[in-house]
Structure formats: structure tokens, C-alpha cells
Amino acid sequence: MTEPTKDFEALDARMRETWDAILGQSPLIHTLKGGCDDRRLYALYLIETFQYTRHNAQNQALVGVRLTPGHTTYLQFCLRHAAEEAGHEQMALHDLKAIGVDPAPVTALAPMPSTEVLIAYLYWISIQGNPVQRLGYSYWAENSYHYIGPVLKAIQTQMKLEPKQMTFFVEHATIDTRHAEQVKQMIARGARSEQDWQDIGRVLEISLRLTGNILTDVQREYERLQAGAPSPYAFLQVLAGSR
């Protein structure tokens, strides 16, 4: 039996360092800090959030599907969380509509490369390896508002967004407190060896880095929209100048 407090502190430190690297280096964060008030940037970010969120219920459920008999508590955790996450991507679509984006082209888009790589990785860690490892993803995801909150606040203020245009993020901030506690309890119960903690930490870091990479793709596509270059996101040009 390991000493969970120390292990959680190690997870928290790893999460903090990874977030610091993302928030410190991402050009998109730099753009926002420079006062960007362009809703196309928010829309691109929402679209990619939509892209990977629509897979989360399914890859979460897959963890439960491959559990061997006798892990009833973790099986129930996986299936209940999966059930709760089902359909959450609709909130991202709703927010896009609320700022005037046509959802039809959104659902037909392929994810950006970095988003697809994150999706691929989340399935990978769900279908093989240590079954508890995906909790590392849930751990940072359910605790992300401490880090991403200021970014969202800047987006809200600079782009003059109302709460009903940010339901995905507002909703998740609300339910996160409860979820974060459930995830922490599940880790405390499910992580029984040093290897378990290492695998959880490894997935935490890699999945968070891959999520950070999405910001880079979003920034690049934003610059293409600004430059008027050909883009699968050209339908977002209706937002240029809106706020």
C-alpha cells in the first residue's frame, strides 16, 4: 500500500509543470495576452473541443469493457462517467450557434492533426495497457479550470461573450468539482502499486501535452483565417469583426 498523499502531490506537481509549459510556450496564449478580441479564435477552439469531446464517452466506456471480472467498482465508475459524458459535445455546438456559427459544416469537419492525435491516444490508453491509466487523463481534465480558468476569463472579457455563449466551459467548471472528487477517490482506490501511479502520471502528462498541442494548431488556423488563406474553416469568417 503506497501513501496516497505523496502520490497525489507528485501527480499535482507533474500536472502543474505540464500546464506551466503549455501556458508559457503556446503562441495562442500569447495572442490572447496581447488582447485578441477575435471570436474566430474562440470558435476554432470550440470546434476542436467538440471534436475530441464527442469521443470521450466511448473511450471511457472501453476501459470498462476490457476489465477482467472482479473489478466491479471501477467498472461502474467507467460506465457511469461514460454515461454522464455522452452528448457533452452538443454543448460546444450550442455555443458555436450562440455566437452565430452554422453547426452543419462543423459536424462535417475532420479534426485538426493535433486533435486527431489526442483522440488516437485516448483510445490507445483505453483499449490496452494498465486499465487504471486513463484516470490520469480524467485527473487533469476534471481539475483543469484552475489552469484554464484565467484563459477563459480573458476570452470572455476580450470577446465580450455572455455565459450562454460559453455553456460548455461554464457547465464543466460546475460539474468538475464533484467529478474531480470522484476521480480522486477512484485513483486512491484503484492505484495499488507504484507502477499504477507511474502509469497514471505518464498518461496525465502525455494527454495534457497532446491537448496543449491543439492550441498550436488552432493558432495556425487562426492566422490562416486572418490572412484570408484558403481554409476548411472559412465559414467562420462571418465572425470577423463581430463582438
Give the footprint of a second copy on this chain (CB under 8 A).
54, 57-58, 61-62, 64-67, 69-70, 72, 75-76, 79-80, 82-83, 86-87, 89-90, 107, 110, 113, 116-117, 119-121, 123-125, 127, 202, 205-206, 209-210
| Residue with Cβ nearer a second copy (40 or 81) | 81
Q: How far is the CB of 66 from a second copy (least distance, A)?
A: 8
Q: Which amino acid is at 88?
A: H
Minimum distance from residue 138 beta carbon to a second copy (Å): 16
Q: To the nearest whole angstrom, how small is the minimum distance from the Cβ of residue 241 to a second copy? A: 32
Q: Which residues contact 57 (CB under 8 A, 6 or more apart)?
A: 82, 83, 85, 86, 87, 88
Distance (Å, whole) CA 237 – CA 241: 9
For residues 100 and 240, give the distance between their C-alpha atoms in angstroms, rounded to a whole number.
11
- Min. distance of Cβ 110 from a second copy in angstroms? 8
* Nearest residue (CB) to a second copy, 41 versus 111: 111
Our CB check for a second copy shows the closer of 113 and 149 to be 113
Residue 211 gets the label, from left (phi > 0), alpha (psi -120 to 50) or beta, of alpha
- Rounded to an integer, what distance in angstroms lies between the CA atom of residue 113 and that of residue 39? 22
| 215 touches 22 (CB < 8 A) | yes
Minimum distance between the CB of residue 65 and a second copy, rounded to whole angstroms? 5
| Between 12 and 116, CB nearer to a second copy | 116
